[in-house]
Amino acid sequence: MNSSSDFTIKRLTTDLYCIQENISDINPIYTNDPINLYLLLGDHTALLLDTGCGLSPLKPIVKELIKERELLVFNSHAHWDHVLGNHEFKEVYIHENEASKVSRSYDLSGSKKVFSKYSDRNYSIPPAENVKVLHDGEFFDLGDIKIEIIHAPGHSPGSICLLTDDCRLFTGDVAYYGDQFLPNRQQIPRVIDTLSMLIDLCEKCGVKTLYPAHQQTPCDTTLLNELLQGVKKIESLWHKRTFQKDFYAWEINDPENERFRYLVSRF
């Protein structure tokens, strides 16, 4: 394990690094430490999944690790803690549903108290110079590793997972242990559909290992099953909801599984 600036660098396998940073360094209301950024090394091309909070330079770390390889940079989705380092890279890919959001400067001025560490940048983070769109089912060749884009809406409209041809699944914010930031109550069925789809995909493709964007990594497919069962229970627990003002969301806790807290958007 090595540390560099605000990042901790872990080599998970011979071809995979996890670059971690703590979201609670932005504000302690966030409890999903660490954020896991992944750097997958193919023969001729490397892939960086997410660029993090943008507080410290990420590109020099990536450049040192990939050596002479070409680099692809993907965003798993457009939420701020996954994209604020985009401006360090000339070109970034994201699902077509969220490309417009990362094509313009990211405005944090609506929550200056939460994002006080960005005051020296006037709460505005520029985008990558060039934003390209990803489509469900699209393939990328890193050399000895092939990547398939899996559109997995729910957490956000353009959330994606990455499936490798050697049966690894990178789940982004679609599935991880910890606080679950979910869309409004009416859209919960979409989350259930996505999790069910991923479980079927894992069974069909023989996936055993998951790499989430927060907290514990790697995980096994038990994560998907536990999360699916928990999300399905939200409706029966709805009467026990409380208001979580920091996130303007309904908070729901399942006493039978404390590995998750559900924050259902009120928007």
CATH number of the domain that residue 57 is part of: 3.60.15.10
At residue 148, does pLDDT exceed 90? yes
Its pTM surpasses 0.85:
yes
Mean pLDDT within 242-248:
96
Residues of the chain with pLDDT > 70: what percent?
Answer: 98
Amino acid 6: pLDDT? 86
Is the pLDDT at 1 greater than 90, yes or no? no
Whether 261 is covered by a domain: the verdict is no
Facing residues of 150 across strands? Answer: 161
pLDDT at residue 168 greater than cutoff 80: yes
Q: What is the mean pLDDT of residues 85-107?
A: 97
Q: Is residue 84 part of a domain?
A: yes
Structure tokens at 229: 């069962």
Alpha helices per DSSP H over 127-258: 188-205, 222-232, 234-237
Total domains present in the chain: 1
Those residues with Cβ within 8 angstroms of residue 119's Cβ, 6 or more apart along the chain or in another chain: 112
CA atoms within 13 A on the CB side of 159: 23
Residue 102: is its pLDDT beyond 70? yes
State pLDDT tens for residues 41-60. Answer: 999 999 999 999 999 999 99
- 267 within a domain of the structure (yes/no): no
Query: Model confidence at 132, in pLDDT bands (50, 70, 90)?
Result: very high
Residue 252 lies in a domain: no
For residue 182, the cross-strand partners are: 264
170-181 per-position pLDDT tens digit:
999 999 999 999
Q: pLDDT at position 4, please?
A: 55
End-to-end CA gap in the chain: 40
Rounded Cα–Cα distance for residues 205 and 19 (Å) = 27
Residue 187 has a CB neighbour count (10 Å cut-off) of 15
Contacts of residue 41, defined as CB under 8 A and 6 or more positions apart, other chains included, come to 15, 16, 17, 65, 66, 69, 142
The per-residue pLDDT for 164 is 98
206-244 tens-digit pLDDT: 999 999 999 999 999 999 999 999 999 999 999 999 999
**Does residue 143 lie within any of the structural domains?**
yes
Query: What tokens does 254 get?
Result: 């399942």
88 inside domain:
yes
Cα–Cα distance for residue pair 76/1, rounded to 1 Å:
24
Give the C-alpha distances (Å, rounded to integers) separating 122 from 77, 118, 208, 209, 229: 23, 7, 44, 40, 42
Structure tokens at 223: 């994560």
Q: Which domain holds residue 56?
A: 2-178+207-219
Residue 93 lies in a domain: yes
Q: Do 66 and 44 form a contact (C-beta atoms < 8 A)?
A: no
In a domain, residue 149? The reply is: yes
How crowded is residue 18: how many other Cβ atoms within 10 Å of its Cβ? 22
